[in-house]
Amino acid sequence: MSWNPEQRFYSQPLPAVGEFVKVRVTRVTSLGVYTELLEYGGQEGMIVSSELAKTFFRSVHQLVRTGKALCCKVIRVNEKKKYIDLSKKRVTPEDDEACHARYTRGKLVQSLVLRTCQRLDIQDAGSVLGMFEKTAWLLDTMAGRETAALDVFKDAVRTPSVLDQCPVSPEEREALLETIRSRLKEPQLHLCAVIAVTCWGPEGVDAVKDALKHGGQEGADDTGAKVKILYKEAPYYNIFLETVARKRADGVATIEAAIAAVRNRILQYDGGGFRLVTKPTELRKTRHCAELPGEEEVTYDEGFSSDDSEDDETSCSVEEVRGEESDELARKAEQSLADTDVLRLLISGEDSGIVQDGQ
């Protein structure tokens, strides 16, 4: 692409010596590689063959191809002739990663400003550059670093007043804010907990429904997100909450408040029981609590029916049941051995105490 000053990411028209820039290969020759600087409106740069790699290579075509994106270091800049010499071999893996991150942020800022210009029907290059100077580049200058405007734009999603520092008209401010809200969405966080709720009293299912309903009404954070209590399998229920990632601590507190509300309400009923099976956990790849790894068991045990049977005279523990089963199996095994011995003696006729037929 040709050089377009209004398409550059930063206020300065040319990069500084020692800066790492993102380029795309446009032409490969025996002397070197010609590139376009993606962050500077397509300004041309060149990588001489001696700056391509530290190791020996027979041909430049073995290393790069047309259209490939690279991270290069600026080693010389001629501002009058706009010649830019680049180096590929002086880039470390850490430099490449940082260069890619900066390019990604700068590309996003550029797309937001250009989209705002489209909303306002701004087409001439001078007006486009003016919009950059009043918004993104001004914010970068105030923060003292490049792509700092992206952080301000992200804050504008929840606090639009941060855009007041930009000297734009109300119409331009509203168009920029609409673009930011449509393009920038805060990362969402999904939290889940599993509870067990029972009631063996006269109210039964009605008590469980009332407790779950009460927990759903109590669970809400300052962003307006509310918990969702879904049936899993008797007597287990999933408690979901979807909120913004920056409010993780508040989200966990919201789920814990809902859990406490359910517990307090169900224990008011005769025979009500509650158990926390899984603490609030962040869901990353799935929204199903059933697929979560094992968590800590049982935080609350008040009135839970499975733990109240220890004093029942008719009940017995698992160890007792297993002991009775083992004794029964032992008796059957002894009887089987005895029957086998009797049968062997009958066949051999060795036991004098056994009367055989015909004798």
Torsion, CA 109, CA 112, CA 118, CA 120, rounded to 10: -100
- Report the Cα 213 to chain-centroid distance in Å: 29
User: Per residue in 17-43, is it b (16+ CB within 10 Å) or e — as a string?
Assistant: eebbbbbebeebeeebbbbbbbbbbbb
CATH H superfamily, domain 100-183: Translation initiation factor 2; subunit 1; domain 2 (1.10.150.190)
CB 250 within 8 A of CB 221: yes
**Alpha carbons 43 and 2: distance in angstroms, whole number:** 8
| pLDDT at 232 (0 to 100) | 83
- pLDDT tens-digit profile, the chain (359 residues): 445 666 789 999 999 999 999 999 999 998 899 999 999 989 999 999 899 988 888 888 888 899 999 999 999 999 998 899 999 999 999 999 999 999 999 999 999 999 999 999 998 888 999 999 999 999 999 999 999 999 999 889 888 999 999 999 999 999 999 999 888 877 778 889 999 999 999 989 999 999 998 888 876 655 567 788 888 888 899 998 887 766 778 888 888 889 999 999 999 999 999 999 999 888 864 444 544 433 333 333 344 444 443 344 333 333 443 445 445 555 655 555 555 454 444 444 444 333 444 44
The residues of the chain that CATH labels 1.10.150.190 are 100-183
Q: For residue 214, what pLDDT is reported?
A: 87
Quote the pLDDT of residue 93. Answer: 94
CA 236 to chain centroid: 26
What is the third-level CATH fold of 188-307? Answer: Alpha-Beta Plaits (3.30.70)
pLDDT for the residue 339 = 52
Name the CATH topology of 5-91: OB fold (Dihydrolipoamide Acetyltransferase, E2P) (2.40.50)
Residues of the chain with CATH 2.40.50.140: 5-91
Contacts of 332 (CB under 8 A, 6+ apart): none
